[in-house]
């Protein structure tokens, strides 16, 4: 059972090294300990998010935009960081240990193209995608 972002980062490191045959050289803690940027020896970058659950009201929230089902969301600040840092994949890791990947470019293109952007009460913008864009990592 994955219980926090440190557990998620360790799982991500293991999968990156297994799937790419490239060692993780840097682990940078971001967002007050809630996210990690992992950089391999070859310079590949992965942004790690620990998620407690999927965005269950995605379809209801974006029904007018033609969306259904469940999804995921990320604050624009962190999505923009991923784009500026040339992150190849955002890795979303859940308590059951399942890991999903999506590129930041794919995330922003879908959100902008499908109008699945919303402003939270505190003024933060979030970009949302359906789970069909997530690719399972094993």
pLDDT in tens, the chain (138 residues): 899 999 999 999 999 999 999 999 999 999 988 999 999 999 999 999 999 999 999 999 999 999 999 999 999 999 999 999 999 999 999 999 999 999 999 999 999 999 999 998 889 999 999 999 999 998
HEC per residue, 51-105: CCCCECCHHHHCHHHCCCCCEEEEEHHHHHHHHHCCCCEEEEECCCCCEEEECHH
pLDDT of residue 33: 86
pTM here is 0.95
For domain 5-133, which CATH number applies: 3.40.50.720, 3.40.1350.10, 2.60.120.260, 1.10.760.10? 3.40.1350.10
- The sheet that has 135-137: what strands, in order across it? 24-30, 35-40, 45-50, 89-93, 99-102, 135-137
Contact indicator for 9, 36 with CB cutoff of 8 Å: yes
- Among 49, 124, 122, 33, CA closest to 87: 49
Predicted confidence at residue 135, as pLDDT, reads 97
3-state secondary structure of 39: strand
């Amino acid at each position: 059972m994955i219980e926090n972002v440190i557990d998620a980062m360790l799982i991500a490191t293991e999968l990156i090294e297994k799937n790419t045959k490239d060692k993780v050289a840097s682990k940078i803690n971001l967002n007050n300990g809630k996210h990690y940027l992992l950089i391999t020896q070859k310079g590949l970058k992965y942004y790690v998010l620990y998620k407690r659950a999927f965005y269950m009201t995605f379809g209801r929230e974006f029904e007018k935009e033609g969306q259904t089902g469940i999804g995921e969301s990320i604050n624009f600040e962190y999505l923009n960081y991923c784009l500026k840092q040339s992150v190849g994949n955002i890795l979303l890791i859940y308590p059951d240990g399942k890991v999903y990947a999506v590129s930041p470019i794919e995330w922003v293109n879908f959100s902008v193209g499908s109008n699945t952007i919303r402003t939270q009460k505190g003024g933060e913008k979030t970009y949302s995608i359906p789970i069909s864009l997530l690719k399972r990592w094993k």
